[in-house]
Chain A
Amino acid sequence: MAKLKHWFASGTPYIWLNAGAVSLSLIMVFGLVALIAVRGLTHFWPASAIAFDYLEEDGSLTPMMGELVDTETVITSVPAVDQPETAKETVIKRHLIKQGNRDHAGLDFRWVNEKGMENRHYPEEIMVIERREWGNFYGYLKSVNVGAVTHEGRDHWEIFQSAIDRSLDLIGRIRHIEKDLIGAINYKMEQLRLDERGLELRGVMDPEPFAKIQNARAALQEEYNGYTGELEALYKQLNKDSYIAMLADGREVTMPVAKVVRAYRPNEMSFLDKCGFYLIKFWEFLSDDPREANTEGGIFPAIFGTVLMVIIMAIFVTPFGVLAAVYLHEYAEQGLITRTIRIAVNNLAGVPSIVYGVFGLGFLVYFLGGNIDRLFFPENHPAPTFGTPGLMWASITLAILTVPVVIVATEEGLSRVPRDIREGSLALGATKAETLWRTVLPMTAPAMITGLILAVARAAGEVAPLMLVGVVKLAPSLPLDGNAPFLHLDRKFMHLGFHIYDVGFQSPNVEAARPLVYATAFFLVVIIIILNLTAIWIRNRLREKYRAAEQH
């Protein structure tokens, strides 16, 4: 005992316990990133489809088919058959099966006990279909009906694939007409309506501008009619093909090819096939629009919205942050006031982000935006233009949120510029402004970039204020498009962080959406880690550079 006491008195165990705290922190950091990576990245891998007969509790057999998603062991009380009153506790292993077919089976996920799974096998012909509605489909392909001809037998899979390709092509064309061409017409129509309303508000009596607007409107209408005819033909062609598939329980169902996004047979794919499939899926995730209430498809609009917002924010935050830092460090008289300001700026970095959101909503959106609408957009009244949350207000809110980061980083950079460099420049007759522009600021540039990167990283991950000032779960159109003035600062937009919150917590089908949320989270984490590592790297290089400068 005394020995043990002595051992503790030596302090070694305490040091090791402290070491344990570091180890635990490291385990948590890397464990978290690994967890997100594993869950997010495995989502795109084509899992094998399993078929089995499930022994229900009432003794009947249900044929089932699907992917094995999760496994857990639980303790349950199973009443013994002969003595129902004495429940016996047993450890059972159960699996979560994604059986898809929400339109036929009702539930697309189901927990099954491993004990009840009989006759497990992996038939090569199981096909998985990703659809535009009702989630995945699992079953066997029976026949394909293309152009009123029914194909059965050996080559029907190839015919099915080519039918899908055709329908995807058609859908691409339809979408181009609907979104780009007709969207542009609608936009112009709305502009005309606003012009007309503006004329009315200004009390213009001259009929000429009104007639011009009428003519333009008639031209647009004609163009629109042309497109609708074309669309009708395309839709007719699209809805022609269908296929018949067999469910696990032997039922046969007929479904339109037009609703198919992709069909594949995971059990007959080789490893290379799967790798190719993985890459295609991953690319789809990055480049495509979301489907089915954001639970399927890609996150492109969210990436786009995040990037655009961050760019606009950077345009606001960099000059103002640098200006404030230069003023504080170079021009303001150092004393109590600058010290107070410095403390205040430091503190603002610690003010909760939601407070900035409240400020953004109250001051920017309702006060500034409301007044802008009254002054510049009276023809839009009562529909708000800038008096509602949107891209511009979100960017400015985040710029205010991150301006302390830039100020602090830039000031640190300014204070690292050796004194003799500044004095040398002044001694050679340069004015203060010239010293600043030619020597001090260029030397501070890396520090500014560090600040900007940190600001961008913070902005990209911030969600709470954005929920108040402009983010939506599904934006009908991107804030940047082909209609003048191209950049629509008043539009609402999608954001990666909010996407995670929304899909993970507000989605109607959380189980189906979960892998996608992990994938989105992984993507966001990777971006932010890369940004931060870059900032750290620049900072370290900068320090070494100045250390060299100071030693001269």
Chain B
Amino acid sequence: MTSPELATVPASLSHDFKSASAVRYRRRRGFKDAITRHLMTMGGIGVILAIVLIAFYLLYVVLPMFKPASLHQQAAYPLPGEPAIETLDYFMEEQHEIGLRVTSDGALTFFNTGNGSLVKQLQPLKEASGEVSAYVAGDPSQYLLAFATRAGQVLLIKHRYSVTYPDDKRRIDPYISFPLGEAPVSLTDNTIRLIAAQSDADRATIAAFTDDGRLLLSHFTREESFLSDEATIKRSSDVFIPVDGRISHMIMDVEQRELYLANEYGFISYFDISDKDSPRLVQKVHAVPKDAKITSLEFLSGGISILVGDSRGVIAQWFPVRDDENNYTLQHIREFHSQELPISAIEPEYFRKGFLALDESGKLGIYHTTAHRTVKVKQINTSGVNALSIAPRANALLTESDSQVRFWEIDNEYPEISWQSLWGKIWYESRQEPEYIWQSSSASSDFEPKFSLTPLAFGTFKAAFYAMLFAIPLAIFGAIYTAYFMSPRMRAVVKPSIEIMEALPTVILGFLAGLWLAPFTEMHLPGIFMLLITLPLATLLFTFLWQRLPAPIRQGIPDGWEAAILIPVLLLAGGAALALSQPVEALLFDSNMTLWLNQHGIGFDQRNSLVVGMAMGFAVIPTIFSISEDAIYSVPKHLTTGSLALGATPWQTMVRVVLLTASPGIFSAVMIGLGRAVGETMIVVMATGNTAIMDMNIFEGFRALSANIAVEMPESEVGSSHYRILFLAGLVLFIVTFIFNTAAEIVRQRLRTKYSTL
């Protein structure tokens, strides 16, 4: 630009490109150009990254669920209290700051879990009561301990913790209380070998197996006096339960209704003790193979399932299953095989359906029953472990080995998540058989969360299926006609009208489906199905008659306006079908089709898949119509004219040439429509009953993934398994629609290049 030739321009037009101001100006322009380039690049990449962020954020929330659990030793210190005396048990309070060591002299030693320093020492069991011969802990949620002595006495103790905040700092003080009074209760004259006990606010039950081979069941009730604040404990019943064989383990559920005994031959006896005066043996089962022995027996939290550990290192979950006649039988549900040596201890979690198991070699396994998952197996000591205890929130662990207490931290937040628990059939507690269930919350606390995404995914695809059944024929046939046979003037009106349909808010479609279409369909059910027959028939009949009309009338209407002529015909035929609905219903279905369906074993909900299919079909018709119409319309004209010139009829040309060429485009239209149907939310929220059932019945509802997110997300606790599973549901929707859309897009791009080469 600054070459000398330029100097030859006439003086009047000449311009000094080298003057200081011109250089400055050019530099400024160049600078602006560079700035714009960088801004645009940064901004553009930023926006694109932000969009990509969505997928990664969903993944970021979902991934922690699949992170393996970890177990780290935090501290080790000598046994607090009397090291020489045998340890019976350990406990921790909610914050896992204070631990409790229970020893065989009946002493309770509270200590700091971080360093083992003593906090408090108590000796509730006086020496006069005699040596401790048996010990048991009640349900974890009750913080109950029971000591039984050689003299046949029993002392129940609850260890509790008061939390105060002096000077804004947390301070935890342990204290104990006595549900049956400070003095031990004399149960029998014989030595108690085994004991099981539970106690809650107003009653307590103790089962004691004495060394003369008898099993005593004692029940206590607490009665508040009307006159004074004092409560009196009444021993309301005492029964002996006949048992055979030597009992090795005995457990009672927290509700004090069931008692399980295990004997040395591997049999488990299941007693119903809800009537304390007459306990009933429900069942006796052989729980382990002949060559194995039961080495451990515990309840899972909630007190419904029992966990049986045996000498082979197998842990089995059993629970009573109700049959159709309301009888309960103990059933083997699932097994865990991750350990090889005899199970020496099982420690259930306080609130979740998980547990820890220890074998004789000192190998620790962390399990979750619902998910049927071995979360972690770790050799924590090679010379065996004497005792272990998990913190109430399942985030810390105490073990005793080699005269040392070890304090561990557990990071195991999502044990209930596994491929099996998300997608498989699970046998949940109190259910008759393995099922797919979504039930994320419930009023009771000992509830087993049921996080099966299968019924939700099923619901999503059921909705999409019926929607496509409705939409595909209408949209594609409509597209064929509009693109190929319709007059251009009519097309200019029809295409935008159907495309505007796409912009209709789905909340309006959902509201109409739920409040207008659903009752309407219920009222005119036979009529709706008759429409399937009358509309095509009426069209054919009209076509037949039309062609027999005298030519002047026919030619009064130009080609390509068939759709307009058909509107009144279809309106009439549809009206007739709906008007005939009631007579047909009276004739064929005893005047009430829904009742008739119910009598024939077909369930009927007012808001059902038929309604959703029509409403959502309506929502996806424009998508499919518009894309496939484009594909058909842009088939190169020389192909069709060539076919017609060779003597093919318009319809033959359509089927053999146009459709064949445009079929990838139609395929991609269907894929995009399917993607839209899968993710649609408001229609399925409003037009179905939102119950998560798995049934293809067109007359019943379902619960879709998207609807489930919309309904449950606002109430979900941030960071909980439920929250993350809802994110997973979102991610699944994202991935599914992304796959459909990408497939469609790639097919479309290929088609475009194909057309351009034709």
Contacts and interface: CB of A to CB of B under 8 A. Distances in A.
A26 interface: yes
B711 to A, nearest CB: 9
B379 to A, nearest CB: 38
B682 A32 contact: no
Contacts of A404: 51
Nearest to B47: A324
Interface residues of A, number: 103
Given A350-B737, A463-B682, A468 B713 contact: yes
B733 A354 contact: yes
A533 interface: yes
Nearest to B650: A11
Given A19-B481, A22-B486, A23-B563, A464 B652 contact: no
A546 to B, nearest CB: 19
B164 interface: no
A431 B505 CA distance: 44
A311 interface: no
Interface string A10-32: 11111111111111111111101
A20 B566 contact: yes
Contacts of B718: 366
A436 interface: yes
B680 interface: yes
B738 interface: yes
B188 interface: no
Contact of B508 (A10, A25, A434, A521): A521
Contacts of A525: 504-505, 508
A18 B485 contact: yes
A313 interface: no
Given A501-B510, A521-B511, A461 B650 contact: no
Interface in B36-95: 36-37, 40-41, 43-48, 50-54, 57-58, 61
Contacts of B474: 21, 24-25
A460 B504 CA distance: 10
Nearest to A321: B47
A348 B679 CA distance: 12
Contact of A20 (B29, B539, B714): B539
A358 B706 CA distance: 10
Nearest to A432: B33
B503 A431 contact: no
Interface in A506-532: 510, 514, 517, 521, 524-525, 528-529, 531-532
A36 interface: yes
Given A350-B672, A351-B734, A15 B512 contact: no
A142 interface: no
Interface stretch (A216-224, A273-281, A337-345): A337-345
Interface in A424-481: 429, 431-434, 436-437, 454, 457-458, 460-464, 467-468
A320 interface: yes
Interface string B502-524: 01111110111011100000010
A187 interface: no
B621 A25 contact: yes
A293 interface: no
B498 A13 contact: no
Interface string A46-74: 00000000000000000000000000111
A332 B48 CA distance: 12
B61 A461 contact: no
Given A27-B570, A327-B41, A433 B713 contact: no
A12 B547 CA distance: 10
Contacts, number: 321
A182 to B, nearest CB: 31
A497 B505 contact: yes
Given A464-B681, A497-B505, A16 B543 contact: yes
Given A29-B498, A431-B32, A23 B566 contact: yes
Interface string B321-335: 000000000000000
Given A18-B485, A327-B44, A500-B508, A23 B713 contact: no
Contacts of B569: 23
Given A29-B501, A461-B507, A533-B500, A19 B710 contact: no
A35 interface: yes
Nearest to A365: B718
B591 A25 contact: no
Interface stretch (B144-152, B275-283, B440-448, B741-749): B741-749
B44 A21 contact: no
Given A321-B47, A359-B58, A22 B563 contact: yes
A11 B726 contact: no
Given A16-B539, A355-B730, A11 B652 contact: yes
Contacts of A73: 582
B578 to A, nearest CB: 12
B678 interface: yes
Contacts of B733: 351-352, 354-355
A341 B477 CA distance: 33
Residue among B44, B508, B544 with the highest chain A CB neighbour number at 10 A: B508
Given A15-B562, A358-B726, A461-B507, A29 B44 contact: no
A467 B539 contact: no
Given A327-B43, A327-B44, A501-B511, A460 B505 contact: yes
Interface of A: 7, 10-30, 32, 35-36, 72-75, 77, 89, 91, 320-321, 323-328, 330-332, 341, 343-348, 350-359, 361-363, 366, 400, 403-404, 407, 429, 431-434, 436-437, 454, 457-458, 460-464, 467-468, 497-498, 500-501, 504-505, 510, 514, 517, 521, 524-525, 528-529, 531-533, 536
20 contacts: A17-B477, A20-B539, A23-B567, A23-B570, A323-B44, A327-B47, A327-B48, A353-B681, A354-B681, A355-B679, A357-B709, A400-B50, A400-B54, A432-B33, A432-B37, A463-B506, A468-B714, A498-B507, A504-B686, A536-B496
The 5 A-B pairs at the shortest CB distance, nearest first, are namely A327-B44, A352-B679, A11-B651, A461-B505, A21-B477
Given A23-B564, A524-B505, 16 more contacts: A10-B651, A16-B562, A24-B535, A35-B516, A323-B40, A323-B46, A324-B48, A331-B44, A355-B58, A359-B58, A366-B718, A431-B29, A454-B503, A500-B508, A504-B686, A517-B511
